[in-house]
Chains A and B, each alone.
Chain A
Amino acid sequence: GENVEQHPSTLSVQEGDSAVIKCTYSDSASNYFPWYKQELGKRPQLIIDIRSNVGEKKDQRIAVTLNKTAKHFSLHITETQPEDSAVYFCAAPSGWSNTGKLIFGQGTTLQVKP
């Protein structure tokens, strides 16, 4: 079955620095890769996603890159701010058939120090 590995598990950066979180997936049929941000006690919120027909997508300070050959995708946050502190989850769908099943990575706890 599909497996999604996420690294690092924790990441601490100074405010203003960049943060990068990486995920690898096992199913070459996966075609959609969302990133969710979850603040303490809150719901996972979609912050950016990418489909397999593009290699990069950017939304202000957040970008996602996808390397289909290597089967990995990364989240890039530039000019980090304390409010970026949260747990970030990557995900990938399971298999060719879109059943709606998403496989989540184990999460990265990002701490942005003021």
Chain B
Amino acid sequence: DTEVTQTPKHLVMGMTNKKSLKCEQHMGHRAMYWYKQKAKKPPELMFVYSYEKLSINESVPSRFSPECPNSSLLNLHLHALQPEDSALYLCASSQEPAGPSTDTQYFGPGTRLTVL
């Protein structure tokens, strides 16, 4: 299995809702990432998990809460989002999170989030 999968594909939520995005990989990768991508812009890093521990938080608002239950799964919990949080949320994974060389990151298909 050489893919990163994400669910759901699309999500519409109100500003008072609580929802979660899910990401899964079975490539044995030890680093997993959350990115946010606005239309016609590059992906922006939000969080990095290294061996199931949060290693980078790019000053993301607390209404986004990541969780890594095990080495294959990554969640992003959403609460009290704003309309400007509407975007494509991409998950990615790579073999090793740290070391002398950078490993390739493989992206999931993303979740298209709309906040009303």
List which B92-112 residues lie within 8 A (CB) of chain A.
Answer: 94, 96-110
Encode contact with B along A53-86: 1 for CB under 8 Å, 0 otherwise. 0000000000000000000000000000000000
CB nearest to A42 among chain B residues: B109
The A-contacting residues of B in range 4-37, CB under 8 angstroms, are 31, 33
CB B96 to nearest CB in A, in angstroms, measures 8
Q: Taking the complex as formed, is A44 at the interface, i.e. its CB lies under 8 A from any CB of chain B?
A: yes
The B48-75 residues at the A interface (CB cut-off 8 A) are 48, 50, 55-56
Q: B interface, by DSSP: helix, strand, loop or mixed? A: loop
Q: What does the 1/0 interface line of A90-114 toward B look like (CB < 8 Å)? A: 0001000111111011110100000
- Does A45 belong to the interface (CB within 8 Å)? yes
Contact A43 B102, CB 8 Å, known A100-B31, A104-B43: no
A-B contact count, CB below 8 Å? 68
Report A27-59 CB contacts with B as 1/0, cut-off 8 Å: 000011010100000111110010100000000
B45 close to A (CB within 8 Å): yes
A-B contact sample (16 more), CB < 8 A, given A36-B107, A45-B107, A46-B104: A34-B104, A34-B105, A43-B90, A44-B107, A46-B105, A51-B101, A87-B40, A98-B97, A98-B98, A99-B55, A100-B55, A100-B94, A100-B98, A102-B102, A106-B42, A109-B40
Q: Which residues of A contact B (CB under 8 A)?
A: 31-32, 34, 36, 42-46, 49, 51, 87, 89, 93, 97-102, 104-107, 109
